[in-house]
């Protein structure tokens, strides 16, 4: 509405072609400095902004990168969004958070996968289905998934944290402290890579397994969920340490255990996951598996852009997936088990 390219052309006394070329700095064309001035002045005067829909129609290309997610983990996700956005912009693309999970959005909406240069799918629930649909509609849209667990979507690159490795570190840390019965607190929909790592570690160590599954959501609030699980965790004192799926669970669990007069780490050790902003600000400070958010964002964006610009791909230079290592951060929520729990024979 606020003027199109023809208005600018008329005001500058040139053809709209000239305006288009001058405003875009199209190369391969030379224009008289005089003409250039007139065009620039006219555009400024009218407050001209190119119509991006028209542009897209012509070019069939955008520099929009869609970010999509579906998660309970507000903190981790929001931080990831921020970091990815920053990097995306730095490379000359524009990030858009959009829900690609609604099929009718693509059908009846005004912004769909066909508009995107690429997409980053973060912690999506029905990831496989989503990616499939986007690839189909979007004519094999370049996609990168950011996932805790490693999945195998053919043709879609992935960035993930080495959760198995992180979990193993945490497990060994607890084992080293003398724990012999270590539990796992996670969502009901299990995270395969972690649960299987947990199972493997238990087996290897000759320990019993004890998984506490949180019902999908207590008001969609992972803190409360964790808190409510305290009773189950404490029952019968079957474990002396718990590995949690994320820091929010861990924080809630610690609070809940406190209400039951159980001390962390005195009676039970707790390990979180993600190293969220509050991990060092709760008491006891959380021992947790740190996930490198910055590097994760960076890797995801670089992978996607390489995929979009497609030179490295053909040369076979682009890795199928990037797995960032996780790092155990030992703080105050883990300690030796209470005396009676300690192994009788040293190890």
Partner DNA sequence: TGCTACTATGCACACGTTAACATAAAACGT
Partner DNA sequence: ACGTTTTATGTTAACGTGTGCATAGTAGCA
Name the residues that contact DNA, by CB under 7 A: 1, 4-6, 13-18, 20-21, 23-24, 26, 29-32, 34-35, 48, 50-51, 54-55, 57-60
Nearest residue to 8 via CA among 62, 21, 28, 55: 21
Q: Which of 137, 211, 262, 313 binds its own copies (CB under 8 A)?
A: 137
* SS3 state of residue 182: strand
Cα–Cα distances (Å) from 342 to 232, 240, 262, in that order, read 22, 10, 17
Of 58 and 340, CB closest to its own copies: 58
* CB-nearer residue toward its own copies: 85 or 161: 85
Comparing CB distances to its own copies, the nearer of 174 and 254 is: 254
The one of its own copies, DNA, none whose footprint includes residue 110, by CB under 5 to 8 A per kind, is: its own copies
Of the candidates 228, 256, 224, 254, the one whose C-alpha atom is nearest the C-alpha of residue 242 is 254
Among 41, 97, 216, 217, binds its own copies (CB under 8 A): 97
**How many residues bind to its own copies according to rule CB under 8 A?**
63
Q: Are 119 and 99 spatial neighbours (Cβ–Cβ below 8 Å)?
A: no
Minimum CB distance to DNA smaller for 1 or for 346: 1
Coil vs helix vs strand at 11: helix
Asked whether the beta carbons of 336 and 273 are under 8 A apart, the reply is no
Fill in the DSSP letter of residue 338: P
Between CA 84 and CA 143 the distance in angstroms is: 14
Cβ proximity to its own copies, 6 vs 53, nearer residue? 53
The DSSP result for 226-247, as a single string, is HHHTHHHHHGGG--SEEEESSH
Nearer to DNA by C-beta: 13 or 310? 13
Question: Which has the closest alpha carbon to 181: 347, 339, 345, 337?
Answer: 337
- Given 11, 22, 39, 98, the residue binding its own copies (CB under 8 A): 98
Report the residue count for the chain: 347
Q: Is 27 in the site for its own copies (CB under 8 A)?
A: no
Minimum distance of DNA from residue 31's CB (angstroms): 4
Site residues, its own copies (CB under 8 A): 1-2, 47, 49-57, 60, 62-64, 67, 74-75, 77-79, 81, 85, 89, 94-99, 102, 105-107, 109-112, 114-115, 136-137, 139, 221-224, 226-227, 248, 251-252, 255-256, 258-259, 277-278, 280-283
């Amino acid at each position: 509405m606020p003027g199109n390219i023809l208005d600018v052309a008329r005001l500058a006394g040139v053809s709209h072609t000239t305006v288009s070329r001058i405003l875009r700095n199209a190369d391969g064309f030379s224009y008289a400095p005089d003409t250039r001035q007139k065009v620039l002045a006219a555009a400024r005067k009218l407050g001209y902004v190119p119509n991006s829909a028209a542009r897209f129609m012509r070019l069939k290309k955008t520099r929009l990168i869609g970010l999509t997610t579906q998660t309970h983990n507000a903190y981790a996700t929001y931080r990831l969004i921020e970091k990815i956005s920053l990097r995306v912009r730095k490379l000359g693309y524009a990030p858009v958070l959009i829900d690609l999970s609604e099929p009718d959005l693509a059908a009846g909406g005004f912004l769909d996968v066909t508009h995107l240069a690429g997409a980053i799918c973060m912690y999506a629930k029905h990831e496989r289905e989503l990616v499939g649909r986007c690839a189909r509609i979007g004519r094999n849209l370049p996609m990168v998934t950011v996932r805790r667990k490693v999945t195998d979507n053919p043709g879609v690159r992935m960035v993930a944290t080495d959760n198995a490795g992180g979990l193993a570190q945490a497990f060994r840390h607890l084992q080293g402290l003398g724990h012999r019965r270590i539990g796992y607190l996670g969502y009901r929909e299990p995270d395969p890579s972690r649960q299987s790592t947990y199972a493997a570690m238990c087996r290897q160590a000759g320990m019993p397994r004890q998984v506490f599954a949180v019902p999908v959501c207590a008001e969609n609030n992972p803190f409360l969920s964790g808190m409510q699980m305290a009773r189950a965790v404490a029952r019968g004192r079957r474990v002396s340490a718990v590995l949690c799926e994320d820091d929010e669970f861990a924080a809630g669990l610690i609070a809940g255990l406190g209400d039951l007069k159980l001390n962390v780490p005195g009676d039970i050790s707790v390990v979180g996951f993600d190293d969220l902003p509050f991990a060092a600000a709760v008491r006891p400070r959380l021992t947790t598996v740190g996930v490198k958010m910055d590097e994760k964002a960076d890797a995801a964006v670089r992978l996607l852009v390489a995929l979009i610009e497609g030179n490295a791909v053909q040369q076979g230079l682009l890795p199928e997936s990037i797995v960032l290592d996780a790092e155990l951060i030992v703080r105050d929520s883990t300690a030796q088990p209470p005396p009676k729990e300690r192994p009788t024979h040293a190890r």
